[in-house]
Structure 1
C-alpha cells in the first residue's frame, strides 16, 4: 500500500523535511503519484516502521526483533554502507570504482591490506560451479584450523587462500585477473569488461543474510573457510543469491507477451507468485548497481519490456538481480552464470567482514524472544 504525503506525515508526526530526508536515505520508498506527477506516494510499511521507532516506547525485545528484519544496524562495520541512495566501500563510491577497478583491487580495499592469490592444485569435478565451491570449502573446513589467535597479516593470507580456492573451484585452475578467467570459463571472452564491473558492484552490500552468517561462524573462532561455507550455503536461497534465475524465467514469460507486457505480469501476479528483480529497501530512488550495469549493456527486448511493465504495475525500478539476469541474457551465458558471478564477487565481501569480525574478538550470540507455552505451566 502507498500513502500520500499528508497521510505519511500524519503517521510519522514529523515535518515534510524529515519525510524527504528519510526518502533520500532509502528509509522510505517513494514513487510518483500516477494521478499527479508533481506529487509522490510513500510505501506504507516503511512509514509505519519509522513511526514505531520514533514513538520511543519499545521494549528491548521489540528493538532486537525489528533489527533482525531490515532494522537498525546490529553490528558496527567499516566495510560498506548504503547512504543517500549510493553504495560505498570504505567510503568510496562503488559505482565509480566499477568504472576501472578489478575484483582484486576491491579485495585489497575491503581487506585493508595487500595479498596475493596462491597456486592451487586441481580439485574434484562437480556438476556446477556452485557445487564445486561448496565441496572445496567443505574440504578446506574439514582440514581444521581456526581464526582465533591469528594476526591481520595471517588472516589476509588465509583469506587469499579461501578466495583462490573458491575461484579455482568455480572457474578451473588458472592465472590472470578473475574477471578474465570468469569470462573464459563461461565461454564468452568478450564479456570480460562488463563482468569486471559486475564483480566490483556485487562484492559487498552491508550486513545481508549471507554476510551475517559468515560473521557469526567466524565469531566462534571457526576458520575463514568455515565462515565462507556458511555464507555460500546461505547465499543459495532463492530470496538471496539465486534471485536472478527467477528474473530470467519471468523475462522469458513476459517476453512471450511483448505486445501486452502488463497482461503477462498481471497473470504472473494472479498466480500468487512474487515478482523478482524489482525494488530494494535500501534504495528509495532505484538500485544504483542495477543502473550502472544496465547502462553497460544492450538490454534485451524482453528485459526492456519487463522493466517498463514492472515499473508501471509495481511502482518499483529494476534491482541488481534484474540487471545481472539481463547481463547474462545479453551474452547468452549458461544457466549457472548468475549465481557463479554473484558468489565469486561476494566471497570478497564475506572475507572482508570475517577479517573485521575476527579482529574484534567478539562472539555474536543473540537471545531468542520466547513465544511458546508459558514456562512452568502445569
Structure 2
C-alpha cells in the first residue's frame, strides 16, 4: 500500500489535530482504509493528503471560496437563530444541550422565532388522514396546506408566528396519526405507547433536533421563503430535502450498519467497512471534529442496546470518529422499540421549529435568494 500513510504522518503533513483529520475523512476529502496488519487502525491515502495540504498552502480564489461555501464552506448569509461555537450548538445564544434538559419543543420553537413566554397556539388543525405512514401523512399535510395557505410575503410577524405554531402542531398530529392535546412529546409518546421516561427522551431529541444552522433542508426552506411562498410551502421544501439519504434519511444507512453488526458482530462489521473504504454512517460530523454534542447529550440519557453500544466502541477505536445525532436517534429508537421510521419522524417534527424560524427571518430581509451558476458546459458563442 505505497500510496497510504498512517494517522501520525497525515496529521503532520496537514498540520491539524487528529479530530480534524477524521472530519476530512467523514467529508470524503481524504480516503481511509483498514491497516493490513491491524484492522482496528486506519491508513489514509497519501495523494489525498498531499493535495489537501497543497491547496491549503496556496490559498483559494474568491470564486473557489464561493463555490465551496455551498458544501460545508464559509457562511453565506447572516442569521440570528443558530450557531455552532467551539463544538457547542446555540439557539438564540442559549446552549441547545442545556435547553434539552427541561424545555419542550414548543418552548424552543418560540425561542427560535425570537419570541418569549408561552408558545403561541394556532387554529385547530384538521384531522390527519388515516392509513398512510407517518412520513406520507406529514408530506400530505404540508402539501394540502401549501395549496391553500396565503403567501407569507407582506404579512405581519405575529401572524406568521401564529401560523408557524399551528403548522408545528399539524406536523405532530400527522406523525401521531390523530389530533391530541398537551405537549408534542407526550402526544408522540402516546402514539408510540411509551411511558413517561420514554416520552421525556422524545422531548430531549426533539429539542436537540430543532435547528442546526444552514443545513441542506434549512437552505431549501429559506430559498422557498425568499420568494414569498407560504410557511407550509417553505416547510414542504425543507421536508423534501430532509428525506434524502444524506440528510434526514441518514438513519436508514445507520440501520444498515447496525444490521451488519448484528449479523457479523460489531468488530467484523467495522473492519469490513474499513477494508472496502466505506463510510461509517452515524459517526463523525464536519462541524464537530471533537464530537457531536447533540449525540453526547442524547446518548447520555439512556442505555443503548448492547450491539449498538459495542458498535460505538469498535468504530471509535478503529477510526477515531465519534457518534453523531443520527446514531443517537437510531440507538434511542432501538432502546424504546420505536417504529421503523421513527428517527425520520422525530427529525422532521423537531426541525419544523427551525424551518419556520428561518422562513420568517428570511421573509423579514425582503431579499430573494438567487445565486449564480458557474458555467462549465460547451463554449457559448453567437450564431451568425
TM-score (norm 2): 0.85
1:118–1:164 CA contact under 8 A, matched in 2: no
Report how far residue 249 of structure 1 moved. Answer: 2.8
Per-residue CA deviation, residues 88-125 of structure 1 (Å, 9 max, x unaligned), is 11111111111111101101110112522432121322
Partner of 2:201: 194
Q: Equivalent of 2:300, from 289, 295, 298?
A: 295
Q: Distance in 2 between matches of 1:96 and 1:42?
A: 37
2:218–2:238 CA contact under 8 A, matched in 1: yes
Report how far residue 48 of structure 1 moved. Answer: 6.9
Q: Distance in 2 between matches of 1:50 and 1:132?
A: 48
Q: Equivalent of 1:227, from 216, 226, 234?
A: 234
The question of 1:242 aligning with 2:244 is answered no
Q: Distance in 1 between matches of 2:199 and 2:293?
A: 21
Partner of 2:179: 173
The question of 1:77 aligning with 2:79 is answered yes
Report how far residue 257 of structure 1 moved. Answer: 3.4
Calculate the aligned-residue CA RMSD, in Å.
Answer: 3.1
How many residues align? The count is 360
Q: Distance in 2 between matches of 1:308 and 1:335?
A: 24
Q: Distance in 1 between matches of 2:69 and 2:295?
A: 26
Partner of 2:114: 112
Report how far residue 83 of structure 1 moved. Answer: 0.9
2:180 is paired with a residue whose SS is coil
Per-residue CA deviation, residues 310-338 of structure 1 (Å, 9 max, x unaligned), is 11222201111000000000011110211
Report how far residue 46 of structure 1 moved. Answer: 9.5
The question of 1:217 aligning with 2:224 is answered yes
Change in 2 beyond 3 A, CA 1:156/1:276: same
Change in 2 beyond 3 A, CA 1:222/1:54: farther
**Equivalence map 1:57-206=2 (5 Å):** 57-58=60-61, 60-113=62-115, 115-171=120-176, 172-190=178-196, 191-206=198-213
2:13–2:49 CA contact under 8 A, matched in 1: no
1:68 is paired with a residue whose SS is coil
**Equivalence map 1:274-285=2 (5 Å):** 274-285=279-290
Report how far residue 242 of structure 1 moved. Answer: 1.8
1:254–1:306 CA contact under 8 A, matched in 2: yes
Change in 2 beyond 3 A, CA 1:62/1:134: same
Partner of 1:37: none
Q: Distance in 2 between matches of 1:256 and 1:240?
A: 26
Per-residue CA deviation, residues 203-246 of structure 1 (Å, 9 max, x unaligned), is 11010000000000000111110000000011001111021232
Q: Distance in 1 between matches of 2:135 and 2:50?
A: 39
Q: Distance in 1 between matches of 2:261 and 2:170?
A: 39
Report how far residue 152 of structure 1 moved. Answer: 1.2
Report how far residue 376 of structure 1 moved. Answer: 1.6
TM-score (norm 1): 0.86
Q: Distance in 2 between matches of 1:50 and 1:137?
A: 46
Per-residue CA deviation, residues 351-376 of structure 1 (Å, 9 max, x unaligned), is 11111101111111011111111112
1:216–1:363 CA contact under 8 A, matched in 2: yes
Q: Equivalent of 2:262, from 255, 258, 266?
A: 255
